[in-house]
Amino acid sequence: MAKRRRGRQRSLVETALRGGAAGVMGGLAISLVEREVLARITGGARHRSAWDDLAARGLARVGLKVGDGGGRIASGVATQLVYAGALGAAYAVLREQSRESRAGRILLDGALTYAASLVFPDRPTPARRGRRLALRRKIAAPVNPADAFTRVTSMAFGALSR
């Protein structure tokens, strides 16, 4: 049996914009969970990622000086969201191209997870001391920010594509 095609094909730009929006949604969700929720659960203050320092060094090379503390965190979050939007746009365009291939979709999801692991690389570590250290480790250990980004972006793109 032949598969039915949609009556209207989306343009490449429209697909990329939907994917970019889905990527920003995924990046925002993961940044919030990683930096605020998990950091508080594991017993620390706000999570400052190694990505923040990398983004600040990159912006300094361009000529933009980023201060310590809040400025570094803000530049880190902003660059994570830009990167997430670019990943989402690329994901959407490639997903539309590989719509008929199950293996292509699986490979694309794996590639998105790998690319997201470059920007969401680290997890908040539990506090060294405390009564609930074992519980904190149990909660934080199974969380993989890159995999969660892939799932959230994929679901958001599916919702935006309807």
Instruction: Give the residue extent of every domain in the chain.
Output: 12-160
The ranges of the chain with pLDDT < 50 are 1-2, 4, 7
Q: What's the whole-model pTM score?
A: 0.77
The predicted pLDDT at position 124 comes to 59
The predicted pLDDT at position 140 comes to 66
Q: Which residues contact 30 (CB under 8 A, 6 or more apart)?
A: 84, 120, 145, 148, 149, 152
The predicted pLDDT at position 83 comes to 93
Q: Which helix (H) or strand (E) holds 133?
A: helix 133-140
The predicted pLDDT at position 28 comes to 92
CA distance 81 to 119: 10
